[in-house]
Amino acid sequence: MTIEIQGLPTRSALRARVAKQLTEALRPLSATPVAAKATFFDENGPKGGISIRCALTVRLPYRPAVRVEHVSDTPRRAFDGSFATLERQLAKYRERLSERRRRPKKYYVAKRLLTAGLAPGEEG
């Protein structure tokens, strides 16, 4: 997996923090992400105000990319907001995967009933 960070100085504490937190958040996923990208940009330029946007994109194999954004007055706060949203999105993704695995498919259940010698309406 590659982590790409754009819009921050190459030697900044925030860059290291972004890489560390993204790596930790993506570790528990069953499918290893292909790439993660963090982009910081100033929407207003030198005008000032709440204008720093942080966009996080995670590309998963065989799934659509997960993309979240947050706007704040500092890059750190923008990252914290977008990272919290990304964690919620990934938690939903993991929950959907576990729900799908837990429930047997109808053909599997029918085959089990037939091999047990029960009619489809009976219970054993």
Specify the CATH number for the domain of residue 41: 3.30.160.100
Quickly state the pLDDT bin for 66 (edges 50, 70, 90): very high
What value, to the nearest 5°, has the Cα angle with vertex 72 and ends 42 and 85? 115
**Residue 77 to residue 112: CA distance in whole angstroms:** 53
Pairing of strands 52-59, 2-6: unpaired
Residue 120 has pLDDT above 70, yes or no: no
Q: Are 12 and 79 in contact (CB under 8 A)?
A: no
Is residue 90 a part of any domain in this protein?
yes
Question: Does residue 34 lie within any of the structural domains?
Answer: yes
Q: Give the mean model confidence (pLDDT) for residues 16-37.
A: 88
Counted domains in the chain? 1
Mean pLDDT along residues 38-60: 87
Q: Which domain holds residue 99?
A: 2-116
Closest CA to 94 of 33, 35, 13, 49: 33
Residue 4: how many other CB atoms lie within 10 Å: 11
Residue 105 lies in a domain: yes
Q: Is residue 79 part of a domain?
A: yes
* Separation of alpha carbons 90 and 28, rounded Å: 10
pLDDT one-digit tens code per residue, 85-104: 999 999 988 888 777 666 66
Is-contact 38 20, C-beta < 8 A? no
Run of H or E residues at 111: helix 106-116
What is the rounded CA–CA span in Å between residue 4 and residue 2?
Answer: 6
Q: How confident is the model at residue 53 (pLDDT cuts 50, 70, 90)?
A: very high
Task: Report if residue 98 sits inside a domain.
Answer: yes
